[in-house]
């Protein structure tokens, strides 16, 4: 930034430089674009799902600079310089993340529209502190809505992931 202020006109575009799933990207989007729409439309990362688009359902949860955030409540412009991780970045070399494996083993999801948001929430939670009690897991997952499962299988899956991660460390 040469000037002390980046100033963009109404209807204009803005170029965002950030890291997405380990890869540096530079993408030009209209100023009003949400981070979720930048990921989905501009980068084709449609694994991030949009439910309510006002922060209630949690389906669009991703990890920005290590913390779970609602990608529908963040402008692409705010992500300048950020390190972004989405559901597409969880598996490494085709091997699932322990949270993905645990969810699969415990039939965590049915229709799975909410799945990416739940798994990114769970991954952020366990990276912050892997030793989570069931009560803590339920509280942290409280910001994500699932209309199919009744949540029990999701909680079972995260508890299994906790056990796996504990065994691995």
Partner 1 sequence: MKAPPFAYARPTTLDGALELLSTHADSKVLAGGQSLLPVMNLRLGAPSLLVDISRIPMLDRIVVDDDGAVTIGALVTHTAVEGSADIARHAPLVAEAAPYIGHRAIRNRGTCVGSIAHADPAAEMPAVCLATDAIMISTSTHGDRVIPASAFFTGFLDTALRDDELLAAVRFPASPPGATGSVVEVSRRHGDYALAGLVCRLVVERGTITDAALAYFGVGPTAERVPEAEALLVGSDGRGPALDRAVEAVEATLDPPSDVHGTTAYRRHLAGVLCRRGVADAIARSTEEVA
Least distance CB 94 / partner 1 (angstroms): 28
What is the token pair recorded at 116? 């990416």
Contact partners, residue 72, CB within 8 Å, separation at least 6? 34, 35, 36, 50, 52, 53, 54, 55, 60
Judged by CB under 8 A, which stretch of 16-24, 76-84, 95-103, 106-114 contacts partner 1? 76-84
Residue 5 binds to partner 1 (criterion: CB under 8 A): yes
Do 125 and 132 meet the contact criterion of CB atoms below 8 Å apart?
A: yes
Task: Specify the length of the chain in residues.
Answer: 169
Judged by CB under 8 A, which stretch of 18-26, 52-60, 88-96, 151-159 contacts partner 1? 52-60
Residue 84 binds to partner 1 (criterion: CB under 8 A): no
Residue 54 binds to partner 1 (criterion: CB under 8 A): yes
Cα gap 72→95, rounded to integer Å: 28
Task: Compute how many other C-beta atoms are within 10 angstroms of the C-beta atom of residue 161.
Answer: 28
Judged by CB under 8 A, which stretch of 17-25, 60-68, 86-94, 96-104 contacts partner 1? 60-68
Nearer of residues 134 and 139 to partner 1, judged by Cβ = 139
Nearer of residues 45 and 64 to partner 1, judged by Cβ = 64
Residue 70 binds to partner 1 (criterion: CB under 8 A): yes
- Of the candidates 58, 68, 66, the one whose C-alpha atom is nearest the C-alpha of residue 83 is 66
SS3 126: helix
Residues that bind partner 1 (CB under 8 A): 1, 4-12, 14, 30-32, 34, 37, 53-55, 58, 61, 67-70, 72-75, 77-78, 80, 121, 124-125, 139-140, 142-144
């Amino acid at each position: 930034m040469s000037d002390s202020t980046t100033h963009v006109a109404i209807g204009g575009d803005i170029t965002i430089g950030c890291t997405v799933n380990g890869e540096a990207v530079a993408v030009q989007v209209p100023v009003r674009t949400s981070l979720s729409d930048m990921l989905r439309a501009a980068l084709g990362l449609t694994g991030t799902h949009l439910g309510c688009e006002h922060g209630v359902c949690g389906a669009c949860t991703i990890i920005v600079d290590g913390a779970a955030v609602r990608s529908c409540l963040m402008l692409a412009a705010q992500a300048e310089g950020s390190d972004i991780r989405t559901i597409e970045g969880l598996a490494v070399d085709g091997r699932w993340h322990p949270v993905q494996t645990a969810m699969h083993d415990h039939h965590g999801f049915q229709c799975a529209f909410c799945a990416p948001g739940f798994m990114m929430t769970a991954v952020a939670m366990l990276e912050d502190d892997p030793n989570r009690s069931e009560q803590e897991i339920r509280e942290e997952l409280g910001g994500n809505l699932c209309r199919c499962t009744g949540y029990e299988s999701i909680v079972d899956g995260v508890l299994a992931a906790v056990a796996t991660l504990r065994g691995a460390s």
